[in-house]
Amino acid sequence: ALPMPVGFLAAPFMGKLPVFRTVLRWAGSVAIEAKDPKPWRDQVRDLLRNGKNLVVFPEGQDWLKAQDFDAGLAEFHPGFAAFAHDARVPVVPMVIERVEVEIVPFETSPIFRRLSGNPSELETTKKVMRYRRCAVQVLEPIGVDLFADRPKKEAVPWLVDEARSRMNAALG
């Protein structure tokens, strides 16, 4: 369990599913398209400024889409850094350490696919990693004082690199 309540930035198809959409909203989570976060920028900034903790997977779905479960971190999308800079909030990197996992076939029902808009990632994902046991390591926060005074064009790539560097170090 994490030491505080959190919401998530989720894949856009999750927001199309009636039950998931309600759960996401109730939990203070947002379904967002990583390639075009602009429509959600104000909502995410407001959640962060109002003290909501959001868990963001900076790789988006790229690691899963690659289907290479032995690979390291995939490229990070810069959205998390832009959101943190805009809201003037710290970034707390976390890593999930595998303790006991298995690779299993990924199957979804036709109803689930239809309700979610049949996103390509559901079609192309053939297998997933099921965590039977894992450890979540919460790393030292990247303080606002380290990036807030920088221009956004400088702060965002710095914050992406800093978060990635700390996460890679923690993963060994």
Please state, rounded to an integer, the average pLDDT across all residues of the chain: 86
- The Cα 94–Cα 105 span in angstroms is 27
pTM recorded for the entire structure: 0.81
Model confidence pLDDT, tens digit, residues 9-59? 887 777 777 777 888 888 888 887 767 767 778 888 888 888 888 888 898
pLDDT at position 37:
67
Question: Which residues touch 8 (CB under 8 Å, ≥6 apart)?
Answer: 24, 27, 29, 30, 54, 55, 56
Model confidence pLDDT, tens digit, residues 49-93? 888 888 888 988 777 777 788 888 889 999 899 999 999 999 999
User: Is 127 a residue whose pLDDT tops 70?
Assistant: yes
- Residue 22 has φ and ψ, to the nearest 5°, of -65, -45
- The Cα 147–Cα 159 span in angstroms is 7
